Structure 1
Amino acid sequence: MSRIGKKPVELPSGVTATISGQTVEVKGPKGTHSFTATDDVTIVQEDNVITVTPRGSSKRARQQWGMSRTMVANMVAGATEGFKKELEIQGVGYRAAVQGSTLKLNLGYSHDVDFDIPAGVTVTTPKPTEIVIEGSDAQLVGQVAANIRDWRRPEPYKGKGIRYKGEFIFRKEGKKK
């Protein structure tokens, strides 16, 4: 039994959901999102509650049960408050700035890195060493944060690079004489 799949998804005030077949569409103040579930699960809406149940006891049906419920819950959360990822930049001379729809990164390369910000995501830099990524789609926000982080991952000796806020980097000791 899926502990996550058993929980119903409650719709807060100001959010509406429509279910047609296997497609769930959620509308809220932050935008509209839709998700098409597989035929292994049944999605039902009663009043302000959406429930997901598996069609059978196969392994795939149980896998899709929890995943489908999480997708619906993420759409509801994105339509109401949205999602946010924060990145920190550590390193001498490493900095970031937003210019229009481009994020300019100085990361110790011989050139500046220009990262085009996709639609549906807002990127701000409150400080030159902080990047805040916000949007209503959880997958898109996480993917943009991962793509930015990939330009200079934190290294284990000095800790230089781009890391998630609060991320612990296991530090290694350098070689000795």
Structure 2
Amino acid sequence: MSRVGKYPVTVPQGVQVALQGRTVVAKGRLGELSLDLTEDVEVMIEPGKVAVSPRRDDRRSRTMWGTTRSLINSMVTGVSTGFTKSMEITGTGYRAAVQGKDLVLNLGFSHEVRYPIPPGIKITCERPTAVKVEGADKRQVGQVAAEIRAYRGPEPYKGKGVRYENEQILRKEGKKK
């Protein structure tokens, strides 16, 4: 039995969840998200909560039971409060700025890196060394943050590069004389 799937998703005030065929749609103040359901799970929408149950008693149905419940929970949280990933840039001359619809990164290359901001994502730079990625879709926020980090990941000797706010970097000892 799924430990995650057996608990219903609570729907906060201001969020509407509807079932349209085999698609769950969540609407809130931050937008609208939808999820296509597999044939392995059944979704019941009640006032104030959404319950997910498996259709059969096989391994795939039980697996998709917990996964679907987590995805619906992420949708409801995303349209009500949203998701945020904060990143820090470390290194001499390394900085970031938002120019129009692009994030411009100076990461020690001979050129500046321009990252086009996708729709549904908001990127802000409070300081030249801090980048905050915000949005309603948890997967998209994580993907955008990972793509920005991939331009220059943190290196283990001096710690230079782009890292997540709470990320611990294993530092290595340099050369010895």
Give TM-score, length-normalised by structure 2: 0.97
User: What is the CA deviation profile of residues 64-84 of structure 1, one whole-angstrom value per residue up to 9, with x for unaligned ones?
Assistant: 111100110011001101111
Which AA in structure 1 matches 2:11? L
User: What is the CA deviation profile of residues 30-61 of structure 1, one whole-angstrom value per residue up to 9, with x for unaligned ones?
Assistant: 11111011001111112221001111222211
Match of 1:131 in 2: 131
Match of 1:68 in 2: 68
Structure 1 position 6, deviation (Å): 1.1
Q: Quote the Cα distance in structure 2 between the aligned partners of 1:7 and 1:159.
A: 42
Contact 1:152–1:161, Cα closer than 8 Å, also in 2: yes
Structure 2: stretches of 5+ with no match in the other structure? none
Q: How large is the RMSD of aligned CA atoms in angstroms?
A: 0.9
Q: Quote the Cα distance in structure 1 between the aligned partners of 2:50 and 2:34.
A: 14
Give TM-score, length-normalised by structure 1: 0.97
Match of 2:5 in 1: 5
Structure 1 position 111, deviation (Å): 0.5
Q: 1:172 aligns to what SS in structure 2? A: coil
Q: Quote the Cα distance in structure 2 between the aligned partners of 1:93 and 1:8.
A: 49
Q: Quote the Cα distance in structure 1 between the aligned partners of 2:16 and 2:146.
A: 31
Match of 2:105 in 1: 105
Match of 1:28 in 2: 28
Structure 1 position 22, deviation (Å): 2.2
Q: 1:73 aligns to what SS in structure 2? A: helix
Match of 2:40 in 1: 40
Q: Quote the Cα distance in structure 2 between the aligned partners of 1:3 and 1:174.
A: 46
Q: 1:150 aligns to what SS in structure 2? A: helix
Match of 1:118 in 2: 118
Which AA in structure 2 matches 1:174? G
Q: Quote the Cα distance in structure 2 between the aligned partners of 1:134 and 1:111.
A: 26
Structure 1 position 175, deviation (Å): 2.5
Structure 1 position 13, deviation (Å): 1.1
Structure 1: stretches of 5+ with no match in the other structure? none
Identity level (%): 51
Contact 1:122–1:135, Cα closer than 8 Å, also in 2: yes
Q: Quote the Cα distance in structure 1 between the aligned partners of 2:172 and 2:60.
A: 41
Q: 2:52 aligns to what SS in structure 1? A: strand
Structure 1 position 143, deviation (Å): 0.5
Structure 1 position 4, deviation (Å): 1.0
**Structure 1 moving runs of 4+ over 2 Å:** none
